[in-house]
Amino acid sequence: MGFWSKVDRGLDRRSSVFEDATSMKILMEKANKVFRHRPRPEDFVDVGGYSKEEISKDVAYVEKVKKRFGRQEEKVKQMSELFEALVVERADRGWLGNIEAVPTSEFDDIVNGVDLVLRPLDTEEGVPPEYAGLSIDVTLSSDTSILKKKIERSWDDLKKNKLSQVKYHEDDLYQGRLDVPRYAIAIDHADLERLMRLWLGGERQRDNLDNDPFRYQIIIQIMFQLKKGLEYLRSNRQAPTELLERYEKSYEFVQSIAESSGYSDLAQDELDNILKSDSVRRVYKIVEQLR
């Protein structure tokens, strides 16, 4: 039995970290620390292209939507945000290679379906960086309808010759609107549970967390969707040249993530195990059905 199989079997015999108040308190403190620099629409009042009225309307809309969340929606959103925070923190340690993961505003999370923005760290001075948006789907059952909707949303945008918008983006290079290719990332409960337990372990589990193979699942899931988009654009003579060029740049960006993260150096048996994971197989099946 492989190491991670033993870990997962061990987890099955313990209560979930998401049902333990002490564990959740620690995890939420970690997440809040990561999100303390999350963009807020109110901070864009003095940025060109935004009005106070527009910002106030967006803030009010987010609060309205949040009040309508049911108990299950709140639970899934909380779990999703914990995973997003983990990705942001681990990205700073090279989890996905030489990139930075930037949280989006609550508005962009709820309205535009973009939870994180990836940006390369080795951008040349004066050259606009390539950005990619991630939409996180935490799967608590075999129902893949929400994941399917997220992938189809990006596909519909592509067929309309559009990228996905991030309205309130802020990093150390840029503050303003972004248009990004958006990729859905699925993670099932067992993988999320394992990652959260490792995160709770602090320094004792740091190396295990740094080397957890789920980071390669993220890269593979992005690559499935990106390659499908490129195939469509290359076969569609009416596709705008600038959109095709943007996707080709995005492909180069994801390739650089694969190389700098160690994905390209995986042995075949390691890659095979990752490809057999439930999350990767779900994404692959949905992407292959896109027309």
Answer left, alpha or beta for residue 289, where phi above 0 means left and psi between -120 and 50 means alpha: alpha
Domains of the chain, by residue range, sit at 16-288
What amino acid is encoded at 278 in this protein? D
Check if the beta carbon of residue 105 is closer than 8 Å to that of residue 40.
yes
- The whole-angstrom separation of Cα 226 and Cα 254 is 9
Give tens-digit pLDDT for 11-38.
Answer: 445 688 999 999 999 999 999 999 998 9
Give the per-residue pLDDT at 124: 59
Check if the beta carbon of residue 216 is closer than 8 Å to that of residue 198.
no
Give tens-digit pLDDT for 185-244.
Answer: 999 989 999 999 999 998 899 999 999 999 999 999 999 999 999 999 999 989 999 999
Task: Give the closest residue to 86 by CA, choosing from 41, 121, 138, 22.
Answer: 138
Structure token digits, residue 18: 């998401």
User: Which run of H or of E encompasses 177?
Assistant: strand 175-180
Instruction: Average the pLDDT over 246-251 and give the result.
Output: 92
Q: Quick check: helix, strand or coil at residue 238?
A: coil
Pairing of strands 175-180, 164-170: antiparallel
Answer left, alpha or beta for residue 219, where phi above 0 means left and psi between -120 and 50 means alpha: alpha
Band (125; pLDDT cuts 50, 70, 90) = low
- Distant-in-sequence, close-in-space partners of 148: CB < 8 Å, separation ≥ 6: 286
Give the per-residue pLDDT at 14: 63
Give the per-residue pLDDT at 201: 93
Give the per-residue pLDDT at 38: 92
Q: Quick check: helix, strand or coil at residue 95?
A: coil
Give the per-residue pLDDT at 139: 66
